[in-house]
Structure 1
Amino acid sequence: MAAHRKPKQSPLGGQAARTAATLALASAATATVFEGSGHAAPRPTPAQVKAEVDRLYEEAEVATEKYNGAKEQADRAWAAFDRLRDESARRTDRLNRSRESLGAFAAAQYRSGGLDPAIRLALTSDPDQYLERAALAEKAGDRQAAAVASVRRELTAVRQLRGEAEGRLRELRTHEAELRRQKATVQGKLTAARTLLARLTAEERARYEAAVAAGAHDAAGAPDPSGTADRADRDSLPRGPITAPTTRAAEAIAYARAQLGKPYVWGATGPSAFDCSGLTQASWRAAGVSLPRTTYTQINAGRRVSRSELAPGDLVFFYSGISHVGLYIGGGQMIHAPRPGAPVRIAPIDEMPFAGATRVG
């Protein structure tokens, strides 16, 4: 028979053993980092960082529009739930009043000893009094029947409303779960972008910011000390009033122009900050036109127009997923809220892959 040995006890026990194990793992991890530093991946260039940041921001904007859609649905579900809850409260109040009325009849019958009205009437010696009481009893019977019917109706309505409210509440919880999921996605993408940008040196970050400000596509290029590109960009901006095909289009553009320089904040609809669809929605709302909240619903909010038909006030959409929108102002340019760190600005529509356009108002 094999000998059974008692397991050897560690000289460290309990918390001491766990602390020693943690220190050992940390030491091993540190050693691995330093030993492997000679084989670490090469540091990305500013151009590579910009390309990855651009990708993360685009994915964040896709998630932002999904968040906006889920929030819009959640807001509608909340409104419907509140209406059902209010109506249920009103119906419950009417039900209680009907029950009180029915209870009054029951109490009166109890006080009368529960004697059948026909028997009580038959016992009277005064025919006129008999007929008067008969008429009153008939009316009382009608009122009692009406009270019973009212209780039944209100009870049925309250049960139905409560069932609908429970369904809306389940729908609301589904939308709120989607909200949390999309919010986490957006925040994760933005955090990853900020982490990448933090790896740039001060000089590289300055070049990156200059490239973003100028709408350039190559952050690795040398800075332009002459400011020629910046002056050309400013010179291309429309001067004075923009000729729009309709009064409402002109009002939408005027509102958008007044927001130039305000920050991009995902999920924002103004007045101090905007995301892309929040800006277009607010601009057209100022012109008296109600647009849906998201890019993928705004594109269906009017008549589709081709790129060659574009007129000031049209909504212009970008990327295959219809994840970005701007307000066209003519001359191949738009006003849009680009992304975090880039405020509301005028930019050429060629700076992103064009996906379509819609005319509203």
Structure 2
Amino acid sequence: MASHRRPKQPSRARVSVLTAAAATAVALSAQASAHAAPAKPTKDEVKVQVDKLLEEQEQASETYNGAKERGEQLRKQADQLQDQIARGQQQLTEVASGLSAVAGDQYRTGGVDPTVALMLSSDPDNYLDKASSNEQATDTQASTLKSLKEQQRRLDQQKQEAAAILAELDRSTQTLNEAKAEVQKKLSESQRLLSSLTAAERASITGRASRAGDRVDISNLPPASGYAAAAVSAALSKRGVPYVWGATGPNSFDCSGLMVWAYAKAGVSLPRTSQSQATVGVNVGTNIANAQPGDLIIYHSDAHHVAMYIGNGLMVHAPHTGDVVKVASATVMPIKTIRRV
């Protein structure tokens, strides 16, 4: 006869042990998943990330360009002031030496005139008042002391100006170094991403970007006029030359460097950065239909990229690291302003 006894149930303690073991297994599995290597990004994902890094790199490059330009200006000002200070110190020494010579002659012949003694005192600022009240000053002596005081005042002012300029130069140098480090960081990050791809994948990204401008037809561009024509011709002559951040030609360029070089060929001096170039000439607005060949097109809200309009809705520019100077649609990026030089 079959037994109808119920199967023996596991003890409560055994159930607890099993539950704990299951929870531990789940936790270990979750930890293993968390520490597992992240999925390798696809070629398209890498391209998106690299494009973003290169745009950030260009922003840092323009900051670098601005700090470098300002630093060069400050060094020139500091050098000029140092020269002025040296000349002023020499003139001050000559005036003081003349007074000392007078005092020496008087001493040898019977004593120093009280007027000269006052002029050589440690507090010459009160000399004229004292000399006038005591009727001790001759016109020549008063004129000599005035010259001495004026030279000293001018020298002190120049020293203060030089100190302020040197302090600003220190700040500009710090900005320069920080921007340079930021550029190099972004380039390293983009290179690391590209190195995760196969050689064929890397070539398909970088090669495609470099060849894009070669397929644009520029055989029927509208003519430019005046120095704008010379600038357009110069810029187009550099198609295929590599982008290098901080470069102003003739064998490599960044975006603003290409504009500086091309307009210099036309005899026109432009400021170094895209942000400064966004303020030159006449504002044409943001509608590309109003642009003329030679106009500067400033892109993005922070004005970190610049190109030159060449007509037919096209522009020539130096895009970013890994690319070359090329022709592209003038509306591929958001336009901040168009400037007629």
The aligned runs of 1:158-197 (5 Å cut-off) are 158-197=155-194
Give yes or no for the alignment of 1:293 onto 2:272: yes
Residue matched to 1:239: 219
**Structure 1 residue 115: deviation in Å?**
7.0
**1:230-309 correspondence to structure 2 within 5 Å:** 234=214, 236-239=216-219, 243-244=223-224, 246-305=225-284, 306-309=287-290
**1:307 and 1:356 in contact (8 A); partners too:** no
Comparing 49-58 and 309-318, the one that deviates more: 309-318
The Cα of 1:347 is off from its aligned counterpart by: 1.8
Separation in structure 2 between the aligned mates of residue 293 and residue 354 of structure 1, nearest angstrom: 19
Aligned to 2:76: 79
Superposed CA offset, 1:21-47 (max 9, x none): xxxxxxxxxxxxxx7798221100111
Tell whether the 8 Å contact from 1:102 to 1:144 is kept in structure 2 after alignment: no
Partner deviation per Cα, 1:301-344 (whole Å, 9 max, x = no partner): 12122311111101112222211111111112111111112121
The 1:100–1:116 alpha-carbon spacing in structure 2 relative to 1, beyond 3 Å, is closer
Runs (5+) with no aligned partner, structure 1: 1-34, 118-139, 216-232
Find the residue that maps to 2:140 and give its secondary structure: helix
Counterpart of 1:236, as a letter, is: V
Q: Which runs of 4+ in 1 moved over 6 A?
A: 35-38
Corresponding position of 1:344: 325
Tell me whether 1:325 sits opposite 2:322 in the alignment: no
Distance in 2 of aligned mates of 1:241 and 1:356: 22
Question: Which of 294, 298, 305 is the matching residue for 1:313?
Answer: 294
Over aligned residues, Cα RMSD in angstroms? 2.3
Structure 2 partner of 1:54: 51
Change (3 A) 1:145 1:235: same
TM-score by length of 2: 0.78
1:357 is paired with a residue of what secondary structure? strand
Identify the range of structure 1 (89-98 vs 349-358) with the bigger mean alpha-carbon deviation. 349-358
Percent of aligned positions with the same letter in both sequences?
Answer: 40
Secondary structure of the 2:331 match is helix
Whole-angstrom CA distance in 2 between matches of 1:241 and 1:59: 32
Q: Distance in 2 between matches of 1:47 and 1:284?
A: 37
Flag the 1:116–1:344 CA change in 2: closer, same or farther, 3 A. closer
User: Does residue 355 of structure 1 match 2:333?
Assistant: no
Structure 1 contact 105–144 (Cα < 8 Å) conserved: no
Instruction: Tell whether the 8 Å contact from 2:214 to 2:326 is kept in structure 1 after alignment.
Output: no
Tell me if the contact between 2:103 and 2:113 (Cα under 8 Å) persists in the aligned partners: no
Separation in structure 1 between the aligned mates of residue 112 and residue 298 of structure 2, nearest angstrom? 81
Alignment of 1:20-31 (within 5 A): none
Consecutive unaligned residues in structure 2, runs of 5 or more: 1-31, 115-136
Q: Is the 8 A contact 2:216 2:327 kept in 1?
A: no
Q: Structure 2 CA distance, aligned partners of 1:297 and 1:115? A: 63
Shift in Å, 1:116: 6.1
Map Cα deviations across residues 140-187 of structure 1 (whole Å, 9 max, x no partner).
944333322222111111111111111111111011111111111111
**Residues of 2 paired with 1:116 and 1:198: CA distance?**
86
Per the TM alignment, residue 351 of structure 1 is displaced from its structure 2 partner at its CA by 3.0
Q: Tell me, what secondary structure is at the counterpart of 1:291?
A: coil
Aligned counterpart in structure 2 of residue 146 of structure 1, from 143, 146, 158: 143
In the superposition, relative to structure 1, how do residues 210 and 60 fare at CA in structure 2: closer, same or farther (>3 Å)? same
Letter of the 2:194 counterpart: L
Match of 1:16 in 2: none
CA distance 1:259–1:165, change in 2 (3 Å): same
Q: Distance in 1 between matches of 2:247 and 2:113?
A: 71
Q: Separation in 1 of the partners of 2:112 and 2:156?
A: 35
Distance of 1:89 and 1:336 partners within structure 2: 46
| 1:101 equivalent among 98, 101, 113 | 98
